[in-house]
Structure 1
């Protein structure tokens, strides 16, 4: 039982402190530039962060890291890349006996340091790049297809199908995991079409900018115009979709107007009696009027209303 508990405790200790012990040795290099997000085995890296043997370095889809090793070798790791520092064997001087890295995917730039050319090697899924006092860019696609572009010096690429030598500036070789390999030829736009990635060589096209010695290589091998072409190309305009509208309620059939809503027929005002005529103004012919009224009274016959001669005479006298 005690042996079992001791084994469990040892396993827990290794799980907690094993990674820290693995990177507690003297570092083999350090970060000189970090953009966006670059991480190592212990977490995000910053400028001056040390890197160690067997450490895996990853960059985000927009990340960029620049590193320098103790012998002066410089390595740029572009966006969306993964690389492992595989072997690093010290020499007694400022050089190394062995410096090897494994590039799993992504974009890279390499500049050799003070060590012998035979000390360097870069392993890719399609083959191994041999260094001859060299500066070069290389790309490893998701399917393992690898391209190398020589910038200075000389290099070789060896795979299952043999080896190709790169001797002229901007010479390029493309190799597949299955062993097929192109002859060295000048890199151009068709190379990016072969790789099915217009940003496969971002340090040459200018999609990512390097600094220091890594960015001091002046040649772009004719690919710098690609970025400008993409910027000058009109971008398709996105048509905005109209915002969805709430469904409208079905229209109701018109209802018959209520009696109170019917238009009212204007009523004719009741006939009003004509105002009485104003009496004529009397004139000075009293005698004529008196005779006229006498005749009217006689014809109208006050006797008709049952009045006697007294009344008639009184009326005559009143007039």
Structure 2
């Protein structure tokens, strides 16, 4: 059995080498994992667990109850939500010490992304219908074959479809979308219809409830986006990539609960008797 495992590992190394990818160069770590999450590299699948390394070339996929929270070595944070899939195409520093980009191909599903300490032009996010140009920021996005929706928390992103039509989001809680025909800024959630708001809430589940995430993957005041609408004029410090905004701790205990019988998510308004 040990001989077979050794041959499989050697085969994976050869496969990565032949495809031009650095052999088993870890680029990130899974800090939080829910069941039904796995990574596939060159046809070799493995179940992800807390502490698992994430490599260039990994296709990370989750099931209906799956979720993966990844921290990269430059402090970039990426959440892969339920029923989601993405490919890690490149990373900032390859095993041979050559410079790359943090390039991911978000195939489908729900995600959260917050940049780390690398220059803004080193982040690349592709989707089936276009690209998200990152400018030092934090945002949630939802991807399917028809298009991509983005909810910006701070900083700025440029959304471009495959036809080259682009729009820029630079206001807190601003929402944009693109598909094969157009790129559009939807703007203030408060101006949307009830049905539109309900659909967006379903797609941006982490903006409504952050409790499924580790605290370091929370975004301060994310819930204000659907509760109060968006806020104009993002501070210049955030536009320039202030990625270490402190999370304001809520009045709950270390275990996330507000006492023996009350348990909460982000604040006391979510506590239940």
* TM-score of the aligned structures, taking structure 2 as reference length: 0.68
Q: Counterparts in 2 of 1:245-260, with a 5 A limit?
A: none
SS at match of 1:115: coil
Q: Counterparts in 2 of 1:38-187, with a 5 A limit?
A: 38-41=37-40, 42-90=45-93, 97-141=100-144, 143-159=145-161, 160-176=163-179, 178-187=180-189
CA–CA separation in structure 1 for the residues paired with 2:57 and 2:33: 20
After superposition, the Cα gap between the structure-2 partners of 1:97 and 1:161, relative to the gap in structure 1 and judged at 3 Å, is closer
After superposition, the Cα gap between the structure-2 partners of 1:120 and 1:65, relative to the gap in structure 1 and judged at 3 Å, is same
The number of residue pairs the alignment matches comes to: 210
Shift of 1:213: 2.2
Shift of 1:89: 3.8
After superposition, the Cα gap between the structure-2 partners of 1:222 and 1:111, relative to the gap in structure 1 and judged at 3 Å, is closer
CA–CA separation in structure 1 for the residues paired with 2:170 and 2:73: 27
After superposition, the Cα gap between the structure-2 partners of 1:102 and 1:162, relative to the gap in structure 1 and judged at 3 Å, is same
Shift of 1:70: 1.1
Unpaired segments ≥5 residues, structure 1: 1-12, 226-319
Question: Relative to total residues, which structure has the larger helix share, 1 or 2?
Answer: 1
Unpaired segments ≥5 residues, structure 2: 1-5, 17-21, 229-273
Where do 4+ consecutive residues of structure 1 move more than 3 Å?
13-17, 20-24, 94-97, 187-198, 221-225
After superposition, the Cα gap between the structure-2 partners of 1:195 and 1:126, relative to the gap in structure 1 and judged at 3 Å, is farther
After superposition, the Cα gap between the structure-2 partners of 1:167 and 1:16, relative to the gap in structure 1 and judged at 3 Å, is closer
After superposition, the Cα gap between the structure-2 partners of 1:198 and 1:52, relative to the gap in structure 1 and judged at 3 Å, is same
Question: Relative to total residues, which structure has the larger strand share, 1 or 2?
Answer: 2
Q: Which has the higher contact order (CA 8 A, sep 6+)?
A: 2
After superposition, the Cα gap between the structure-2 partners of 1:15 and 1:95, relative to the gap in structure 1 and judged at 3 Å, is closer
Selected match of 1:19 from 7, 12, 18: 12
1:168-204 CA distance string (max 9 Å, x none): 001111111x222222512366497499675211101
Q: Is the 8 A contact 2:69 2:77 kept in 1?
A: yes
RMSD: 3.1
After superposition, the Cα gap between the structure-2 partners of 1:207 and 1:80, relative to the gap in structure 1 and judged at 3 Å, is farther
After superposition, the Cα gap between the structure-2 partners of 1:207 and 1:62, relative to the gap in structure 1 and judged at 3 Å, is farther
CA–CA separation in structure 1 for the residues paired with 2:194 and 2:77: 25
SS at match of 1:183: strand
1:78-129 CA distance string (max 9 Å, x none): 110001001114189x996411100000000001011000000110112111
1:146-181 CA distance string (max 9 Å, x none): 0011101111111115111111001111111x2222
SS at match of 1:54: coil
1:35-71 CA distance string (max 9 Å, x none): 1221011321000100100100001112111001111
SS at match of 1:28: strand
Which has the larger Rg?
A: 1
Q: Is the 8 A contact 1:172 1:187 kept in 2?
A: yes
